[in-house]
Amino acid sequence: MDYFSILNLKKEPFSNSPDPGLFYPSPNHVECLHSIEMAIRLKRGLNLVLGEVGTGKTTLCRKLIQQISSTAGNDLVEMHLLLDPSFSSSYEFLSGIAGHFGLTASAGDIADRTEWQLKEAIKNCLFAKGVEEGKIVVLLIDEGQKLPDFCLEILREFLNYETNDCKLLQIVIFAQQEFREKIGQLANLANRINLCYSLTPLGFGETGRMIAYRISQTSEDGAGRPLFTWPGLFALYRETGGNPRSINMLCHHIVLSLIIQNRVKAGWSLVRSCAGRLTLDRRSKPVNLRLAFMVIILIASLSFLVFTNKRPLLKAASSIKERFQAAAVVNSSPKADASGPEKRKNAPSVLGQLSIGKDRNLWHLFHDIYASHDPDTFRKFVKANLTASSIPSFISDPDMFREFVKANPTINNIQMVHVGELVTIPAITASEDNIPKKPIIEVARAKTLTEAYDLLRSYAVSIPDLMLLPFWNRREGLVFALVVKKQFPDRQAALEALKHLTLPMPGDTRVLDTWDDDTVFYHNLEDRS
């Protein structure tokens, strides 16, 4: 439609139909897709794909059909899709399956057959197709949670139709999570399951990449452009919890609002306004505390910037307010000839606080931010259960560890840091030998450590050679830059490398090759030129 041209779109990017052409290949969905296809081709029998409402089961089902149909040798795979398995009797279910296999058309008396005769006809059909014709017959069942117990018993019998080498019928059931409990009560069927895969909501980074992917797939030039400001994207993730269907629904309303208001980007208030028009709460799960904390900091920072027309003052919870104020003060006086202690005047004493995640520990945080020690050294440090006053000789940089431990007096036992515990990250200056001396590529930047660390985790999937480079100077204040680890011999080489960089989300990339004289770095960047 013509009105989509306002946003450089050729069609609706957030359709509520399961369009396989707009299937976003998140790691979770792609792994599931490949696993199910492999199970089908290996003729493993029964496979389950479970997920909450709106996590993409139906779209993945359509993508599976499309992918197998477009692969070489697809004529040897015969796929049958059962959309609504709400049957009232065994006979009705068997008749429906027989119709899918083409038995109704070839047998005029099919309606007069008994259940046993229908089963025999289906078995003979599967044997002819699977053995004599060498085909793989697949039965895909969507909305599997609607399957009555008698249908599940019939499917169990179908799984008994086999040769010495393989199952004659491959069954894939797409169902909601409650189906797990239901099938678990049927031991004879449960122990025949080859694969049970669960689809989960998207994380914050994946949410942004899914939106960017759909926009690029439906844009006029195939490139697309950012649809949200960062606060807007935070608001959308907060409202949807990363549920793909909820994301599409809310994004649809946001796109319409942008068109009506003749705007090109959605901010926090527009997202919240559109979410308020939706009558149902589509959040699939509550947003974790770290994300909520990040959003509070971002809103406070932007609000302060708008009302004072000065650089934002980062604010956190009252218990750590003093530490964050020290990290965010910006001196607007002209640059001095910085050297020695004068260079660090007004520099922050801490970089911020991070929460220990389920898949991260103290070593991960320390290494990601400072990049100063190898894992073995850190494990020795943790194992020794050290305090700030007892740093043995095997620690390569005792002063850095001492500062790190001193900044966290509430951690009684450094070997027992719990998930969710806040860890203060001190502003430990990098050595002069490890600061950037050649051009580097900046992929993105953030104003808070929490936001920057989340960006690093999400971007690292697409750009593994990425690192966090915190730095401070009087002009910019405290900056958290995400940069490519490699240093380039000159600016032209860096610009050339930037052209070939594949970004997970559209952003402001740049080459950094000049620094203010008073710039202080907090990451030991290796020279990997």
Give 359's pLDDT tier (boundaries 50, 70, 90).
Answer: low
Say if residues 276 and 342 touch (Cβ distance below 8 Å).
no
CA distances from 392 to 112, 247, 387, 396, 405 (A): 87, 52, 10, 9, 14
Could you tell me if 207 and 242 are in contact, meaning their C-beta atoms sit under 8 angstroms apart?
yes
Average pLDDT of span 510-518: 87
d(CA 304, CA 314): 9
CA-angle at 480, arms to 453 and 230, nearest 5°: 70
**What amino acid is encoded at 520 in this protein?**
V
Residue 18 CA to residue 5 CA, distance in Å, equals 23
User: Any idea which of 201-215, 235-249, 459-473 has the lowest mean pLDDT?
Assistant: 459-473
Q: For position 462, what pLDDT does the model report?
A: 67
| Token pair 């406070």: residue | 300
User: Looking at beta carbons, which pairs linking 180-186 to residues 24 or more positions away fall under 8 Å?
Assistant: 180/48, 180/50, 182/145, 183/48, 183/152, 186/149, 186/152, 186/153, 186/156
pLDDT band at 307; cut points 50, 70, 90: very low
The tens digit of pLDDT for each residue in 400-415 reads: 666 666 777 666 555 5
State residue 73's pLDDT score: 65
**58 and 205 in contact (C-beta within 8 Å)?**
no
pLDDT at residue number 422: 75
**Least confident segment among 103-107, 140-144, 283-287:** 283-287
Residue type for 281, please? D
d(CA 4, CA 1): 6
Q: pLDDT for 94-113, tens place per residue? A: 999 998 888 864 445 555 67
Name the pLDDT band for 174 (thresholds 50, 70, 90). very high
DSSP codes joined into one string, 37-89: HHHHHTT--EEEEEE-TTSSHHHHHHHHHHHHHTSTTGGGEEEEEES----SS
Average pLDDT over all residues of the chain: 76
How many distinct helices (H) and strands (E) make up the chain?
19, 12
Given a cut of 60, is residue 179 above it in pLDDT? yes
Sign for the pseudo-dihedral over CA of 211, 217, 219, 225? positive
Q: What is the pTM of this model?
A: 0.54
The SS3 of residue 109 is coil
Is the predicted pLDDT of residue 516 greater than 60, yes or no?
yes
pLDDT surpassing 60 at residue 129? yes
Question: For residues 32 and 49, is the Cβ–Cβ distance under 8 A?
Answer: yes
Tokens of 162: 């086999």
Taking alpha carbons only, the member of 145, 138, 139 closest to residue 175 is 145
The dihedral formed by the CA atoms of 373, 377, 383 and 385, expressed in degrees to the nearest 10 = -60
**Would you say 330 and 391 are in contact if contact means Cβ atoms under 8 Å apart?**
no
Say if residue 332's pLDDT is above 50.
Answer: no
DSSP 335: P
Which of 59-73, 118-132, 319-333 shows the highest mean pLDDT? 118-132
Rg, the chain, Cα only? 29
Over 39-53, what HEC string results?
HHHCCCCEEEEEECC
pLDDT of residue 466: 81
**Token representation of residue 104:** 């109704």
Question: Tokens 């650089």, residue?
Answer: 311
How far is residue 344's CA from residue 202's CA, in Å, rounded to a whole number?
A: 41
Stated length of the chain: 529
- The one-letter amino acid at 490: D
Strands of the sheet with 466-473, listed across from one edge: 510-512, 440-446, 477-484, 466-473, 520-521
End-to-end Cα separation, the chain, in angstroms: 49
User: Please, what is the Cα angle at 510 between 505 and 513, to 5 degrees?
Assistant: 150
pLDDT for the residue numbered 284:
41
Q: What is the pLDDT of residues 212-234, one digit of tens each?
A: 888 888 887 666 678 888 888 99
Band of residue 75 on the pLDDT scale cut at 50, 70, 90 = confident
For residue 367, the tally of other CB atoms under 10 A from its CB is 14
- Nearest CA to 210 among 248, 267, 252, 258? 248
